[in-house]
Amino acid sequence: MYGFEALTFNVHGGYLEAIVRGYRSGLLTAADYNNLCQCESLEDIKMHLSATEYGPYLQNEPSPLHTTTIVEKCTLKLVDEYKQMLCQATEPLSTFLEYITYGHMIDNVVLIVTGTLHERDVQELLEKCHPLGMFDSIATLAVAQNMRELYRLVLVDTPLAPYFSECITSEDLDDMNIEIMRNTLYKAYLEDFYRFCQKLGGATSEIMSDILAFEADRRAVNITINSIGTELTRDDRRKLYSNFGLLYPYGHEELAISEDIDQVRGVMEKYPPYQSIFSKLSYGESQMLDKAFYEEEVKRLCLSFEQQFHYGVFFAYMRLREQEIRNLMWISECVAQNQKSRVHDSVVFIF
């Protein structure tokens, strides 16, 4: 019953909620980011990070350091924390935590299939996969020639199986089809996750619905902008939009027929929550759109911590960590390539 979660949530979820809130207090603050932005080399970054919670993960790395190593070790920390939470969780929290990783699974599947298409080595691709999205038979993805085989050989045993019903065709895999496959899978995943949260009810469903609706709308805008000028037809584009969210259904109708960014802006400015995002961009500019969306997402994720006794904090924590890793990657790349003036272009402060 909504409003009375406080009475029974702590039986199964109290300990883990307290743990995830403890993890949250270890996120890097604006002061940390300022220190990192002023570093001259990757060694400086490693030194600053060793004073934070990333210390134990980076201290054994030999110099010279690469940016990919830093990102890999930071991701390892996230994976460790996730696994600690997952092994202590009971139903339905364990299912909820697993849902968080399906997005990474989809990304890994697409990475391996694309890499195989471009004749890359399977081992090399496996190393690039996100550790949260690994599953047992992932290496066999390199063998599949078309989607039906992909499904039959590998994916039918994974949690992604139900998302494939809409995109099984016998066509051979090429770049366009793979992108469409990725977006169709992600659409099915988001809708499934949304339904699961609705079933959980209470504060979890309210908070997660808001976050997932924003995610669905953001993906709709990104799909629209990325497919302007490509051979993706309007109907195909329309099929890739999720069927929930603030933009559903009228915004989707308008987005499907947009042909340039200003038309997209016109559509989005009719929705007050997105108007503030688009007002930060001047006309014709789309590079800052990503950062504006990330900032809005971070704001909503931080707000989910204001309420107690729901599962949204777990999702929010994972997303905030991922944002932090993105920030660290950007800062490391800027420092490594001596482009420190552009450091603040893409860093989103969490606190």
Partner 1 sequence: MVGSSSSWSTALVKISPYTFASIGIAISIGVSVLGAAWGIYITGSSLIGAAIKAPRITSKNLISVIFCEAVAIYGVIVAIILQTKLESVPSSRIYDPESLRAGYAIFASGIIVGFANLVCGLCVGIIGSSCALSDAQNSSLFVKILVIEIFGSALGLFGVIVGIIMSAQATWPSKG
Contacts of 122 (CB under 8 A, 6+ apart): 112, 115, 116, 139, 142
Minimum distance, C-beta of residue 208 to partner 1, in the bound complex (Å): 20
Q: How far is the CB of 14 from partner 1 (least distance, A)?
A: 3
Sequence letter at residue 334: C
Sign of CA dihedral 121, 127, 133, 134: positive
CB of 205 vs partner 1, minimal distance in Å: 21
Residue 147 · residue 169 · CB < 8 Å = yes
The two tokens of residue 230 are 């490509």
Q: How far is the CB of 48 from partner 1 (least distance, A)?
A: 21
Q: How far is CA 338 from CA 152, 324, 332, 341, in A?
A: 48, 21, 10, 8
β-bridge mates for residue 172, sequence order: 146
Nearer to partner 1, 182 or 310 (CB): 310
Q: Please report how close the Cβ of residue 319 comes to partner 1 at its closest, in angstroms.
A: 19
Q: Which of residues 15 and 250 has its CB atom nearest to partner 1 in the complex? A: 15
Rounded-to-10 torsion of CA 216, 222, 224, 227: -130
Q: Write down the least CB distance from residue 295 to partner 1, Å.
A: 22
Distance CA 186, CA 10 (A): 32
Q: At its nearest, how many Å lie between partner 1 and the CB of residue 211?
A: 21
In this complex, which beta carbon is closest to partner 1, that of residue 85 or of residue 255? 85
List residues binding partner 1 (CB under 8 A): 6-7, 10-11, 14-19, 21-23, 25-26, 308
CB of 34 to partner 1, least distance (A): 21
For 146, phi and psi rounded to 5 degrees? -135, 180
User: Cβ closer to partner 1: 56 or 266?
Assistant: 56
- Please, which residue, 16 or 112, has the CB nearer to partner 1? 16
Phi, psi of 172 (to 5 degrees): -70, 155
Cβ distance to partner 1 smaller for residue 17 or 215: 17
Q: Shortest gap between Cβ of 75 and partner 1 (angstroms)?
A: 21
For the chain, the 3-state helix, strand and coil shares in percent, each to the nearest 5, are 70, 0, 30
What is d(CA 233, CA 301) in angstroms, rounded to the nearest whole number?
34
Q: What is the 3-state secondary structure (H, E, C) of 271-325?
A: CHHHHHHHCCCCCCCCHHHHHHHHHHHHHHHHHHCCCCCCCHHHHHHHHHHHHHH
- If the CB atoms of residues 136 and 306 are measured against partner 1, the closer one turns out to be 306
Distance CA 252, CA 238 (A): 7
Of 124 and 306, the one with the shorter C-beta distance to partner 1 is 306
Structure tokens, 299: 């704001």
